[in-house]
Structure 1
Amino acid sequence: MTPSTIHWQDASGQAQSALWQAESGAPAPRRVLLADDTLAADKAYRLACEGTGLLWAGDFHNARQLLQALARRADAPRGRAAGGAKARARARAPEAPGAQVPALPSQAFHLHRQAQAQRARTLSQILIPVQADYGIPLRRAPDLRAAFTEAWGAPGGEARVVSLREVLGLVGAHEWRKKGVPIPALGPEARIHPHYGVFSPVRGEYVDLVATTPLPAGAKTLAFDIGTGTAVLAIVLARRGVARVVATDQDPRALACAADNLRRMGVAGEVALQSADLFPEGRAPLVVCNPPWVPARANSPIERAVYDEDSRMLRGFLAGLAEHLAPGGEGWLILSDLAEHLGLRSRAQLLEWIDQAGLRVVQRHDVKPRHGKSADAQDPLHAARAAEVTSLWRLAAV
């Protein structure tokens, strides 16, 4: 994330500036206005839709309420959101009057992503000042220093301006990190603690697949976990008796998160962490990878755990797997077929990549997802989510 600067004028008309902080990598708003408790929600929504940043100078809790009001307007059915026809068109372009119903699942997906991105841009226009010591100089502002420190490191340096939406995301991540995510496959009390910016293992069905699929011969001596993230799969393998697991990731946040979870779960001695793009050196009887499932461009760093443009990680794993398998070893590819139901990647394409990599399919273990969206008929992608299957593909060298 490259540091940049945000500029505005204070109440006296003097030019001011601060460090612009955006986890998504979004540029600072070109136009910034001071805003406080007197700003009406309809006017705020219109300005936000136009891309005007609203630097808050009022009560912190009122800023949160305004953000909620903007969210209601952004989510309102077509024709009801305040702010005029132009603002509605910008905020909810896929539902604009006269728009055609998407003929293909892929079109519905891309329109949905466009609407999500526009909604995020609009709601991110309420801005909060943060001092160099991570204090927030607003009335009734909570002390969020712990959450900021977890995400940004120790305080110091410059004051900054941050989207309130991102601040609330930091707070949510801080709470998830404190309480952890239950992982039944590791035991009734077991929890994984995701760090900010590291994808949470809330989709438990893929963890269950790794916990129950029979290990190949020799796998209890050594296994690789490619793209470990929170290290949940490395921990599952260690708990299954694998003597040594080498877990890789190229994200420093993920490696720090993995180290924390390995220590909490008491398996730090069995799992070695390495900073690497995909594979460590050598060969192993078992190589496990849970790549991002949807071949599309991520809109923020945390989305890279879900969206993988052009299936880069998936194709890289398949292309390099054979040369990292010990004789008779297996590669376990954990992959949802959601992309197939969305028309973003075909089963034939996946099988072709497997064949081109000098691999064969030994067996495939399938499970239906248990997440709430698979049963939500109001979700724009409900048909694809309802048909989704998560699979563990057991692959071997030809």
Structure 2
Amino acid sequence: MTDFPTLTWTDPSTGATHAARWRSEAGNPPPKRVAIADDRTTADTAYRQACEGIAMLWRGDFQNARQLLQAMSRRADRKPRKAAATPIEAFNLHRQAQSQRARTLGMLLIPLEADYSIDLRRAPDVQDACKEAYGEGEAPSVVSLRELLGLIGAHEWRKKGVAIPALGGEHIHPYYGVFSPVRGEYVDLVARAPLPSQALAFDIGTGTGVLAAVLATRGVKRIVATDQDPRALACARENLARLGLQSQVDVVEADLFPAGRAPLVVCNPPWLPARPNSPIERAVYDPDSRMLRGFLDGLAAHLEPGGEGWLILSDFAEHLGLRTRDALLAMIDSAGLEVVGRDDIKPKHPKASDAADPLYQARVAEVTSLWRLKARGAQPG
């Protein structure tokens, strides 16, 4: 049996020491100091203890715990922001503040029974949400309330789904930890780009399977969709089966490319070259541009003669000073590729119109592009 991190604490009323499995999707270690908190705990006390690194294991009413977390959030949001002189400094300060906020708000803990039930007053039924994220329960565990609320929200998204206009309004149902296609501009780019062939396509890093589904509905006869994440693979398979496209799309586990070549290879890699702080951020942050470089460096070897690679990429990193356009073009050139076309689209997400966002100037300038690439010297298909 796998060894899991363990959270230990002492019951102040009995002096007995207790232990339970510690759950953290971000891989955070269990807190070293744990106090018991209940309905008598004030928001000021809870926030002060959290800032001091003292976790609070909740023993009161569940809905009161939610209200306490909201009050702690308001206190965290009151912290003054440091002024940034450059976009990259603004980004680094924003990430630092996000990390500190998550660490502080993650100090309010909820105990789960072995079957994921919660033995607290007015606690919701979270068993299905926990099973979807963690698998079958084995033993009692403890999780931060913040993470638990994320599981509940993800469970609702998975049931409800996200409507995709490019699929005629059909829904994609994201799993917990798999990036949801709520930003539809990259989907729209793939839906409108001229297809070099309808015979075969590779979808690299498929996630929910949304781009593979779009290609299939556009008439591509066979698509091979790849991913490394077990949740993404299961999510893509379920979505494609729900849409009746499983006979057109093979979902396979692979680090980037499947075997062989295709006349069309599509990739929407993470857009920002920075370190993710949690699994869900792996869809946004790509340390050292590993996936981007891997896709570009391997593309020519997986294209049929005259075939096209579609790189879907935001220029958000460029506006933040994390990567330059010249650096991107140099990556393309050094991979033996040339640009044969580009289609741009402006983002539609709410943060692009929120002037209070610390990264607003970069967001409002952001453009998402579909770069059409060919192997240098390749003849037209």
TM-score range, shorter chain: over 0.9
Q: Which amino acid aligns with 2:229?
A: D
Q: What is the RMSD computed on CA atoms of the aligned residues?
A: 1.0
Q: Does 1:178 align with 2:159?
A: yes
Q: Which residue number in structure 2 is paired with residue 40 of structure 1?
A: 42
Pairs within 5 Å for 1:156-235: 157-188=138-169, 190-216=170-196, 219-235=197-213
Q: What do residues 7-40 of structure 1 show as CA deviations (whole Å, max 9, x unaligned)?
A: 1001311111000000010111010011101111
Q: Which residue number in structure 1 is paired with residue 228 of structure 2?
A: 250
Quote the Cα distance in structure 2 between the aligned partners of 1:209 and 1:144: 37
Q: What do residues 236-274 of structure 1 show as CA deviations (whole Å, max 9, x unaligned)?
A: 000010110000000000000001100111100000011
Structure 1 counterpart SS, 2:328:
helix
Structure 1 counterpart SS, 2:266:
strand
Q: Which amino acid aligns with 2:105?
A: L
The aligned length equals 374
Quote the Cα distance in structure 2 between the aligned partners of 1:241 and 1:51: 55
Q: Which residue number in structure 2 is paired with residue 54 of structure 1?
A: 56
Mind listing any 5+ residue stretches in structure 1 that lack a counterpart? 79-94
**Offset of 1:387 from its aligned partner?**
0.2
Quote the Cα distance in structure 1 between the aligned partners of 2:133 and 2:23: 11
Q: Which amino acid aligns with 2:366?
A: E
Q: Which amino acid aligns with 1:58?
A: G
1:393/1:147 CA distance change after superposition, 3 Å:
same
Q: Does 1:264 align with 2:211?
A: no
Q: 2:27 aligns with which of 25, 28, 32?
A: 25
1:297/1:283 CA distance change after superposition, 3 Å:
same
Q: What do residues 52-71 of structure 1 show as CA deviations (whole Å, max 9, x unaligned)?
A: 11000111011001000000
Q: Which amino acid aligns with 2:98?
A: Q
Q: Which residue number in structure 1 is paired with residue 92 of structure 2?
A: 110
Q: Does 1:290 align with 2:291?
A: no
Quote the Cα distance in structure 1 between the aligned partners of 2:160 and 2:145: 23
Pairs within 5 Å for 1:272-311: 272-311=250-289
Mind listing any 5+ residue stretches in structure 2 that lack a counterpart? 377-381
**Offset of 1:2 from its aligned partner?**
7.2
Q: What do residues 111-161 of structure 1 show as CA deviations (whole Å, max 9, x unaligned)?
A: 000000000000000000001011111111111111111111123x21100
Q: 1:71 aligns with which of 48, 70, 73?
A: 73
**After the TM superposition, which segments of 4 or more aligned residues of structure 1 sit over 3 Å from their partners?**
none
Structure 2 counterpart SS, 1:170:
helix
Could you tell me the TM-score, scaled by structure 2's length? 0.97
Quote the Cα distance in structure 2 between the aligned partners of 1:139 and 1:370: 41
Quote the Cα distance in structure 2 between the aligned partners of 1:39 and 1:372: 35
Quote the Cα distance in structure 1 between the aligned partners of 2:115 and 2:180: 28
Q: What do residues 61-106 of structure 1 show as CA deviations (whole Å, max 9, x unaligned)?
A: 110010000000001153xxxxxxxxxxxxxxxx3xxx5x322100
Q: 1:240 aligns with which of 218, 228, 233?
A: 218
Q: Which amino acid aligns with 1:359?
A: L
Quote the Cα distance in structure 1 between the aligned partners of 2:210 and 2:124: 32
Quote the Cα distance in structure 1 between the aligned partners of 2:147 and 2:109: 9
Percent identity among equivalent residues? 67
Q: Does 1:129 align with 2:111?
A: yes
1:300/1:193 CA distance change after superposition, 3 Å:
same
Structure 1 counterpart SS, 2:99:
helix
**Offset of 1:3 from its aligned partner?**
2.1
Pairs within 5 Å for 1:301-380: 301-380=279-358
Q: Which residue number in structure 2 is paired with residue 90 of structure 1?
A: none
Q: Which residue number in structure 1 is paired with residue 122 of structure 2?
A: 140
Could you tell me the TM-score, scaled by structure 1's length? 0.93
Q: Which amino acid aligns with 2:16?
A: Q
**Offset of 1:50 from its aligned partner?**
1.0
Quote the Cα distance in structure 2 between the aligned partners of 1:309 and 1:199: 17
Q: Which amino acid aligns with 1:169?
A: G
Quote the Cα distance in structure 1 between the aligned partners of 2:337 and 2:267: 15
